[in-house]
Structure formats: structure tokens, C-alpha cells
């Protein structure tokens, strides 16, 4: 190809828009908590299987949205001012992973994930004030 691109760039959207919000991760985590309740309240094996699959997909989306914030939004000065950020993101993404909401039907784990997302969101909004 004569005009093939020589550099490939990727972002959470088609163009680095600069629009970030931890609400995206929180909405998915709220969905996970609701799905856990629906699975635990149902005796229908087909419904339960479908809900578990959706819960696992939502868990992956939580990780994705958190990773975008962690790797694209937050910069070195943020990590210097908030040294707990790396730990918060690590714990939150693990809570959304196979050892967390992706692999359990424990609503308490979903609550822990929501609490971590809220901690991250608090720091995020503090950085937006500056």
C-alpha cells in the first residue's frame, strides 16, 4: 500500500478525547452487584448461566475502565501527590478479576469493589479541581 500508516495509536476511544470519568467503572460494578442478587434469587439454570456470563463481561469492563484511568488519565504528579493510587488501582482491578467479582457470587466482594472505585473517584475529582 502506498499510503499505509507508519504509526498506529490507540486510546479508549477512536481519538484521545481527554474525557475520563470513574463513573463508567462504577456503573458496571453496580450492574455486577445487581446481577449477583438476581443469580442468587433465581432457580432457573438457564437464567443463572446467562446472568453469570454477563457478570463476568461486566467485570472485564470494570477492569478496562479502571486501566484507562490508571494508565491514561493519572500522571506522575498525581501518583506523587496520592501515593496510594497504585495500590488502589491494583486492589480494585483484582476485585474485578477472577479472584473477585468475575469469579464469585458474593455480594460483599461487589461492595468492596464499589468502595475501591469510590476511593479512586474521590481522588480523581480532587485532581479535576486543581
- Per-residue pLDDT of 54-91, as tens digits, reads 999 999 999 999 999 999 999 999 999 999 999 999 99
Distance CA 128, CA 78 (A): 11
pLDDT tens digits, 97-112: 999 999 999 999 999 9
Q: 57 exposed, middle or buried (CB, 10 Å; 0-12, 13-18, 19+)?
A: middle
Amino acid 4: pLDDT: 60
pLDDT of residue 9: 47
Q: What is the CATH number of domain 23-129?
A: 1.20.120.400
CA distance 45 to 120: 36
Q: State yes or no: pLDDT of 124 exceeds 90.
A: yes
How far is Cα 32 from Cα 78, in angstroms, rounded to an integer? 29
Amino acid at each position: 500500500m502506498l499510503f499505509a500508516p507508519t504509526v498506529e495509536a490507540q486510546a479508549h476511544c477512536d481519538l484521545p478525547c481527554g474525557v475520563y470519568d470513574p463513573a463508567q467503572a462504577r456503573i458496571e460494578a453496580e450492574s455486577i452487584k445487581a446481577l449477583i442478587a438476581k443469580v442468587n434469587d433465581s432457580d432457573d439454570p438457564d437464567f443463572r448461566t446467562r446472568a453469570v456470563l454477563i457478570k463476568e463481561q461486566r467485570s472485564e469492563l470494570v477492569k478496562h475502565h479502571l486501566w484507562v484511568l490508571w494508565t491514561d488519565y493519572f500522571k506522575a504528579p498525581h501518583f506523587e501527590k496520592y501515593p496510594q493510587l497504585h495500590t488502589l488501582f491494583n486492589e480494585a482491578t483484582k476485585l474485578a478479576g477472577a479472584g473477585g467479582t468475575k469469579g464469585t457470587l458474593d455480594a460483599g466482594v461487589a461492595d468492596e469493589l464499589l468502595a475501591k472505585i469510590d476511593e479512586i473517584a474521590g481522588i480523581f475529582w480532587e485532581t479535576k479541581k486543581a
